[in-house]
Amino acid sequence: MGNTVKTASKGMKIVLWVVLGFFGLFVVTLIIGLLTPKKELTPDEIKQLAAEKHIKDSIAAIVTTPTPAPAPVAAADEMEKKLTDGADIILMHNQADKYIESQLNDPDSYENVDYTAPIIEEANGIRMFTFLVKYRAKNGFGAKILETSKVVIASDGYRVLGAKKVE
């Protein structure tokens, strides 16, 4: 019986040393993290971070606002020309389809139904194309449902900046 007590006691000592070792490692890591000087941002890095935040805020503002009825834009510029060019509109629709498919539970179930005409929207000085895409796709339960998403596309290269389902 005496050996059993010594073995349990020896096992407890090993566990205690392992726990103390991990605690010591944690304390050393914490001290090093607190003593390491923080890197100062350069003016160029600050400008880049501000520009990225501005773009994200603009996208969020457009995606969350309701889409107004399509109307002609008064200023005749390059963006308006893209709205009348069938190839550009097809490219926008293809980019939107690919983006929506990538967000689905079952991308192979995607079936496009309709698009609204793209319109130019502006938020925080950034101009983008927005339009609605109506489509059918399988939900998480495997049922095919009809949904509509508002898609925001960059005016400079037809990159999809975001899409949000519309109720």
Cβ-proximal residues to 144 (8 Å cutoff; 6+ apart), any chain: 109, 111, 136, 137, 138
Cβ-proximal residues to 127 (8 Å cutoff; 6+ apart), any chain: 79, 120, 121, 155
Domain limits at 97? Answer: 43-166
In a domain, 22, yes or no: no
pLDDT per position as a tens digit, 18-62: 999 999 998 988 888 777 777 777 888 777 777 777 777 766 666
- Measured CA to CA in angstroms, residue 22 lies from 13, 16, 25, 29, 129 at distances of 14, 10, 5, 11, 55
In a domain, 51, yes or no: yes
pLDDT per position as a tens digit, 53-108: 777 776 666 666 555 544 444 443 566 666 666 777 888 888 899 999 999 989 99
In a domain, 14, yes or no: no
Contact (Cβ atoms closer than 8 angstroms) between residue 133 and residue 151: yes
Q: Which of 143, 134, 145, 139 is nearest to 112 (CA)?
A: 134
Count of structural domains, the chain: 1
Predicted model pTM: 0.54
Tokens coding 143: 């049922």
In a domain, 116, yes or no: yes
In a domain, 10, yes or no: no
In a domain, 128, yes or no: yes
Q: Strands, E, within 48-104: which ranges?
A: none
Q: How far is the C-alpha of 71 from the C-alpha of 81, rounded, in Å?
A: 15
In a domain, 4, yes or no: no
